[in-house]
Structures are given as C-alpha cells and as structure tokens.
C-alpha cells in the first residue's frame, strides 16, 4: 500500500494521478478536506480509503496498516503568508518528523515535500547540496518550517534514507482550491477571461524591470513524474530540487497564457502590497544537476508547452481536474 498525505491537495492529488496511470490504486489518502472544494481533486482518482490527518499518526503507529510500501508526505500548510508560527511548527515540522521517524524505523520509503522557500532571498544560491543547508535563511515562517525538517533530517542522518524535494513554483491542474495561493498561471487565466488583461507586480529593484522578476516555473505533472521515479528508485535519497533549471520572467509567463488563450497581450503593472515587499523573491532557479546525476532521466516540460496543456486541456474544459 502507498500512503499519500495531502493526497487531496494540489501536488498530492497529482501524485495519486500518476500512480493511477501506472496501474496503482492501493493508495491511502491522508488529508483534511474541511469545507473547501479540495474533495473534487479525488473524484477522478482510484484509491483504497481516505483518512483524516489528525487520526492518521495514531493508527499508523499502532500498526493498523499492513504492507506499507511508501509514505509520500505532501501534506502541509503551503501558505507562504501564514503567520501562525506555532501552527506551522506543529503541522509542517513536528508532524513531518513523526512520520519520517516511523518510516525510517520500519524500512518504509519516505518522500517529503520541502520547498524552494527554504532558499530565502537566494543570496546563497539554489543548490540542493546538503552541506550548505545551515547557511540558508528563509524569508517567511512557511519556508522556515520546511527548512527545519531538512536540517533535522541532515542532523540525524535521515537524509541517507529519505528523499526531501524542494519544489519551486508549481502550477497546473487541481490547484483550484488554494485561493490566494493559486499559481499566477491560474490567476492570469481568470483575469484574461474576465477582463482581457493580466496584472503583474511592479519591481522595486533597479536590476529588474516591471514583470521581469524571475521564477523557476514547474508543471505539476513533472513533479508527479519525479515522485513516481523516486518510488521506483528507493536507493536515491537526499535533498533534491524540483524545477526546470531555467528561470523565466512573469512577462514570459503572461505571454504564454495569452498565446494559449488566443488573445492579444495586455499587461498592467500594479503596486506590490507593503507586507510582501520585504519577503519577495526576485529570482529563483533550481540547480537540477544533482537529480540528473542520480540517474533521473526525465525531461521537464517547457513553460510554453506546460501552460498550453494546462489551459487548453484543463482550464478550458468542462472537467478541469486530473
């Protein structure tokens, strides 16, 4: 059996989609559905059961689940704007540590969702070499909570036997429940559909023009394929970036959205909220050589091809879900 925490969430449900494509459906979904429409991410999926995240650890530790092949831990609060530090400590760090300890002590494959937010302002680069972990300074509590897990895994030797994935700017189907944390691709699609325009933040650094801030945008399908490859290769462990290895501008992303929708480009630049200016990342780019050196053969989808697939085959369809 495969356990996917956050299995009804954005990346988690994409992992379940990828497993289903491989003919795997002996999957336990762990999540908290609440009153959101996250449940819709599960409608097209095949799985054994769903269990709430609050009762899952106790049942796991009691041995209620037989023959667990792997725990894919995608469950976390992913809001970079979350300010409740105690909640993030418990939900993103302590909960993750508990599950990792159990998996490691029972020889169960463990794959964890870390984040590019751990890199902070990027002044120390974006290398997933674990020797530089202690130098990183995340800009928000979300990034810090993810960083704490990686530090713990390194300190205890857990990184030798688990994989922790630093996801960069992920976009794609099944993100619709995330509200303000949805990708700019999805938000831009909605803006163009409603107004014909896309709004982007102005720049507050001289070296970047408006909309020229850069991100490593990675398609959620590629993220799911990498997780699946790691499940097939349990000897590949450690910290790994998950991005394309190529930073692109918001302007280029917007151009891809307009092209996929067959609409003329029309961008307006707006003021960035004060609360974001001090913690805003102007550049992210995943160093991907480590994953390739580990033998991963997967080629990442280009921004233009991914945006077109997302918009044409999902957002413009009656059923936009994986």
What is the per-residue DSSP string for 186-252? Answer: HHHHHHHHHHS-EEEEPP-STTS-TT--EE-EEEHHHHHHHHHHHHH-TT--EEEEES-S--EEHHH
Residue partners of 99: CB distance under 8 A and separation at least 6 = 5, 57, 60, 71, 73, 110
The tokens for 202 are 């102005």
Q: Give the total residue count for the chain.
A: 322
Q: Put residue 225 in one of left, alpha, beta given phi > 0 → left and psi -120 to 50 → alpha.
A: alpha
Is 95 in the active site? no
Q: How far apart are CA 219 and CA 11, in angstroms?
A: 10
Q: How far apart are CA 169 and CA 117, in angstroms?
A: 10
Identified catalytic residue from 47, 95, 142, 310: 142
Helices 250-261 & 184-195 angle (0-180, nearest 10): 50
Domains, the chain, with CATH or none: 2-171+218-246+283-302 (3.40.50.720)
pLDDT given for residue 121 in this prediction: 87
The tokens for 261 are 């929708």
pLDDT given for residue 240 in this prediction: 98
Residue 26 contacts residue 48 (beta carbons within 8 Å): yes
Identified catalytic residue from 40, 53, 178, 187: 178
Residue partners of 78: CB distance under 8 A and separation at least 6 = 9, 10, 115, 142, 178, 181
**Please, what's the b/e burial string for 23-62 (b: 16 or more CB within 10 A of its CB; e: otherwise)?**
ebeebbbbbebeeeebebbbeebebeeebebeebeeebee
pLDDT given for residue 87 in this prediction: 83
Is 178 in the active site? yes
Each residue's pLDDT expressed in tens, for the chain with a length of 322 residues: 999 999 999 999 999 999 999 999 999 999 999 999 999 999 999 999 999 999 999 999 999 998 999 999 999 877 776 778 888 888 889 999 999 999 999 999 999 999 999 999 888 999 999 999 999 999 888 999 999 999 999 999 999 999 999 999 999 999 999 999 999 999 999 999 999 999 999 999 999 999 999 999 999 999 999 999 999 999 999 999 999 999 999 999 999 999 999 999 999 999 999 888 877 889 999 999 999 999 999 999 999 999 999 999 999 999 999 9
The tokens for 320 are 């936009």
């Amino acid at each position: 059996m495969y356990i996917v925490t956050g299995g009804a969430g954005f990346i988690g449900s994409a992992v379940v989609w990828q497993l289903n494509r491989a003919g795997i459906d002996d999957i336990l979904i762990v999540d908290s559905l609440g009153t959101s429409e996250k449940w819709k991410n599960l409608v097209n999926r095949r799985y054994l059961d769903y269990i709430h995240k609050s009762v899952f650890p106790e049942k796991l530790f009691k041995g209620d689940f037989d023959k667990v092949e792997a725990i894919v831990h995608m469950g976390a609060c992913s809001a970079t704007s979350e300010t409740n530090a105690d909640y993030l400590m418990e939900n993103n760090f302590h909960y993750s540590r508990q599950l990792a300890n159990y998996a490691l002590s029972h020889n169960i494959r463990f794959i964890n969702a870390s984040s590019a937010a751990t890199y902070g302002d990027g002044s120390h680069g974006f290398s997933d070499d674990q020797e530089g972990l202690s130098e990183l300074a995340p800009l928000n509590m979300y990034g810090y909570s993810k960083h704490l897990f990686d530090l713990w895994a390194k300190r205890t030797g857990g990184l030798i036997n688990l994989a922790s994935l630093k996801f960069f700017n992920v976009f794609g189907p099944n993100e619709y429940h995330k509200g303000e944390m949805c990708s700019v691709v999805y938000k831009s699609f909605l803006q163009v559909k409603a107004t014909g325009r896309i709004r982007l933040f102005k720049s507050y650094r001289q070296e970047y023009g408006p909309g020229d801030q850069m991100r490593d945008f990675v398609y959620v399908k590629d993220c799911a394929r990498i997780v699946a490859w790691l499940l097939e290769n349990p000897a590949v462990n450690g910290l790994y970036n998950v991005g394309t290895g190529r930073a692109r501008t918001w302007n280029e992303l917007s151009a891809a959205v307009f092209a996929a929708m067959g609409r003329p480009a029309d961008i307006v630049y707006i003021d960035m909220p004060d609360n974001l200016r001090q913690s805003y990342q102007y550049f992210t780019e995943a160093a991907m050589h480590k994953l390739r050196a580990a033998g991963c053969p997967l080629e990442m989808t280009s921004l233009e091809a991914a945006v077109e697939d997302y918009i044409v085959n999902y957002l413009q369809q009656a059923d936009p879900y994986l």
